[in-house]
Amino acid sequence: MANDDLHVHDDGAGAAGAAPWADRLRRPAWLIAAVGLIGLAVGLILGATLLGSSDDDPEAASTSSSSPPSSSEPVTADATVPAATSTSTTSTSSTTSTTSTSTTTSTSTTTTSTTTTLAPTTTLAPTTTQAPTTTLASTTTQAPTTTTLPSDTVPPIISMVQVGESFVYGSPSPSPSCLTDVGVGVHTTDDVGVTSVTGTYSGLPGSPLTFSPGGGIWGATFGPFTGLPAGYDEQVTVTITSRDAAGNTATKDITFYVMHPSFC
């Protein structure tokens, strides 16, 4: 029952035997870490070398794998294992080389040249600026307007002829009672207007008599007469004529008695 004897060991002796065993386990761990660091450095160097070579050939790629150092699980000391037993752990270091592919992109810039063709220039003929023409309004000279009155066919009217005396004596008269001249007044009207009144007679000087308007009456003086022959005694008819603007006339006769002054 050797196994039972080994199993039944004093706890104090087992603990004392375990401490040297743990020290043995720690020493390989440091060694493994050192080997791992060396492998990592080698991997970095190889990676830098491969990156430098990839600049010349983008398509070339080299892959190398490395794995971090793995440490073996520590062997647990069993109470049944004698303290003199030792386990050797082998650590494998793998180095991974990573190949980086560098792609160079070439950008082509296209320069477009635009040519603008200008339209041909047209040279205009010089423009002559004329002074503005002032157009005067035409002046139309109208002929004088002639107002044509309706034709006047109505003659004047002689309503009355007044005389101061019918007897007239030759001049010079021997007596103031014997008149040598006599005033005559004519009352005449017209629908348009009377323009003149005259008195005509024959056998004696002074014809025709010219009447002048005044106070609505046209007046004139018949006589005096000088140089009448001796024994002269005549009846003289005076024709009074009233005339309007259209030439229409109206007449009236009056009679005088003319005698030599010796009959006074």
User: What is the three-class DSSP state of 213?
Assistant: strand
| Type of residue numbered 94 | S
C-alpha 82/C-alpha 117 separation (Å) is 105
Point out which residues pair with 64 in neighbouring strands: 97
What six digits make up the tokens of 77?
């000391």
Q: What is the pLDDT along the chain (264 residues), one digit of tens a residue?
A: 444 444 444 444 444 444 554 555 555 677 788 888 898 999 899 888 888 765 555 454 444 444 444 444 444 434 343 333 334 333 333 333 433 444 444 444 445 555 566 666 666 666 666 777 766 666 777 777 776 667 899 999 999 999 989 999 999 999 999 999 999 999 999 999 999 999 999 999 999 999 999 988 999 999 999 999 999 999 999 999 999 999 999 999 999 999 999 999
Which residue shows structure tokens 């003149």? 196
User: What is the three-class DSSP state of 219?
Assistant: strand
What six digits make up the tokens of 10?
């004093």
Instruction: Count other Cβ atoms within 10 Å, centred on residue 37.
Output: 12
Among the listed residues 252, 264, 260, 263, the one whose alpha carbon sits nearest the alpha carbon of residue 163: 252
